[in-house]
């Protein structure tokens, strides 16, 4: 079988195409998929954004295949796996959060990060002197565009910005992140080594608002895990997701069960220590159950992600060759 040659039309930092985890490119190479530096040599032109492909459409009409692959929810929001343009002369294939073949499971991109044993708690640490925090950039905040799927707005950026804004006004929530209206954010919080800085910021807080950017099947990122690792009880959004395949009820605080921010703030302010300890320990048990599986789980999760890429690329090329 001839190798399938890929040309990257955009950056692929933190992805398999950027060898974010050592071994990614080796796996692709062993499956006859290689990256090339010259677009003329490519069978498939790939990008994380549709817009970076457009300049190649007329140049290589019917000569090259196109694939958008991204694990970022706003880099591409296509809900279908194929789009035809120019009377069907050009076909663009999609692999993203919404096509369900990038986040193959809800641990696809986080199993590698869950790598330690956390101790259960018997009391709330005296270091937890502050109430709630949110660590996120504004991203358009209250004016972020809607993302409608099947008549439902699955965007969470606006909602979490609204909750954070109300929490700031009520002095029950601190904000860290860039782009917020002047005076709201305590700091940019993205400087330096982010994971280490994030743990430092979370350390004194009891609760962490850590919504994803959008609602999607299997879309579970590091946000909730970083919160648990820092012994911060997550405030998450569970409706429309399959997060409860991993977490039991009454573990993290599910905002989708509240009607408004005030209900949430009243709830966490009145929460008994016993409930807080019980909820956080349930989260810790989930974390530990995953971390105990170690490297075997990391490798199997990564393999599933890479195999989906291989399958898609073979499908694209073979479909073209059979015509």
| Each residue's pLDDT tens digit, 87-115 | 888 999 999 999 999 999 999 999 999 99
Q: pLDDT grade, residue 5 (50/70/90)?
A: very high
Q: pLDDT grade, residue 47 (50/70/90)?
A: very high
Average pLDDT of the chain? 94
Amino acid 191: pLDDT: 62
Strands across the sheet containing 253-254 = 173-176, 130-135, 205-209, 233-236, 253-254
Q: What are the structural domain ranges in the chain? A: 4-99+298-321, 118-291
Residue 194 confidence (pLDDT) above 80: no
Amino acid 232: pLDDT: 98
Residue indicated by tokens 């965007």: 155
Tokens matching residue 159: 């909602």
* DSSP-assigned letters across all residues of 110-138: TGGG--SPPPP-SS--TT--EEEEEE---
Residue 322 confidence (pLDDT) above 70: no
Amino acid 168: pLDDT: 97
Q: Say which residue, 296 or 195, is predicted with more confidence.
A: 296
Asked whether 7 and 55 are in contact (CB, 8 A), the reply is: no
CA distance 130 to 307: 44
C-alpha 37: how far from chain center: 29
Q: Is 236 helix (H, G, I), strand (E, B) or coil?
A: strand
C-alpha 257: how far from chain center: 22
> What count of other Cβ atoms lies within 10 Å of the Cβ of residue 63?
10
Q: What angle do CA 35, 69, 82 make, to 5 degrees?
A: 115
Q: Which residues pair with 5 in a beta bridge?
A: 34
Amino acid 321: pLDDT: 66
CA distance 41 to 224: 42
- 83-90 contacts, C-beta under 8 A, 24 or more apart: 85/57, 86/57, 86/61, 89/61, 89/62, 90/57, 90/61, 90/62, 90/66
Length of the chain: 323
Strands across the sheet containing 82-85 = 33-35, 4-8, 44-47, 65-69, 90-95, 82-85
The helix or strand, by DSSP H or E, that contains position 8, with its residue range, turns out to be: strand 4-8
Residue 309 confidence (pLDDT) above 70: yes
Amino acid 63: pLDDT: 87
Q: pLDDT grade, residue 320 (50/70/90)?
A: low
Amino acid 195: pLDDT: 80
The pTM (predicted TM-score) of the whole model is 0.93
pLDDT (tens digit, 9 = 90+) per residue, 225-258?
999 999 999 999 999 999 999 999 999 999 999 9
CA distance 277 to 128: 13
Q: pLDDT grade, residue 142 (50/70/90)?
A: very high
pLDDT (tens digit, 9 = 90+) per residue, 63-88?
899 999 999 999 999 999 999 998 88
Domain 4-99+298-321: assigned CATH number: 3.40.50
Asked whether 78 and 297 are in contact (CB, 8 A), the reply is: no
Domains 4-99+298-321 and 118-291 share a fold: yes
Asked whether 41 and 23 are in contact (CB, 8 A), the reply is: no
Q: Which residues pair with 68 in a beta bridge?
A: 47, 94
pLDDT (tens digit, 9 = 90+) per residue, 249-282?
999 999 999 999 999 999 999 999 999 999 999 9
The CATH fold of domain 118-291: Rossmann fold (3.40.50)
Amino acid 189: pLDDT: 66
* DSSP code at position 193: -
């Amino acid at each position: 079988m001839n190798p399938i040659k890929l040309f990257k039309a955009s950056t692929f930092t933190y992805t398999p195409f950027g060898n974010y985890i050592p071994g990614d490119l080796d796996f692709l190479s062993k499956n006859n998929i290689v990256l090339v530096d010259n677009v003329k040599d490519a069978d498939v032109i790939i990008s994380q954004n549709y817009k970076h492909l457009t300049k190649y459409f007329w140049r290589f009409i019917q000569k090259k295949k196109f694939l958008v692959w991204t694990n970022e929810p706003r880099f591409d929001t296509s809900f279908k796996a194929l789009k035809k343009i120019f009377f069907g002369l050009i076909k663009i294939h999609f692999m993203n959060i919404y096509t369900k073949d990038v986040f193959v499971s809800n641990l696809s991109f986080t199993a590698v990060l869950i790598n330690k044993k956390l101790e259960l708690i018997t009391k709330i640490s005296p270091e937890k002197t502050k109430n709630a925090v949110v660590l996120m950039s504004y991203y358009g905040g209250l004016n972020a565009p809607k993302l409608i799927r099947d008549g439902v707005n699955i965007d969470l950026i606006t909602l979490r910005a609204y909750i954070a804004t109300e929490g700031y006004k009520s002095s029950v929530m601190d904000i860290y992140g860039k782009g917020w209206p002047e005076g709201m954010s305590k700091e940019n919080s993205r400087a330096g080594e982010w994971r280490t800085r994030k743990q430092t910021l979370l350390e004194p807080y009891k609760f962490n608002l850590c919504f994803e950017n959008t609602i999607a099947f299997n879309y579970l990122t590091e946000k909730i895990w970083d919160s648990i690792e820092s012994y911060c009880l997550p405030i998450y959004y569970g409706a429309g997701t399959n997060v409860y395949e991993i977490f039991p009820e009454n573990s993290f605080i599910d905002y989708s069960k509240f009607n408004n921010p005030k209900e949430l703030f009243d709830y966490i302010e009145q929460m008994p220590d016993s409930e807080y300890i019980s909820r956080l320990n349930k989260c810790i048990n989930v974390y530990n159950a995953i971390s105990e599986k170690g490297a075997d789980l990391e490798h199997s999760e990564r393999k599933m992600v890479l195999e989906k890429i291989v399958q898609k690329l073979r499908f694209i090329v073979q479909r073209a060759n059979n015509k």
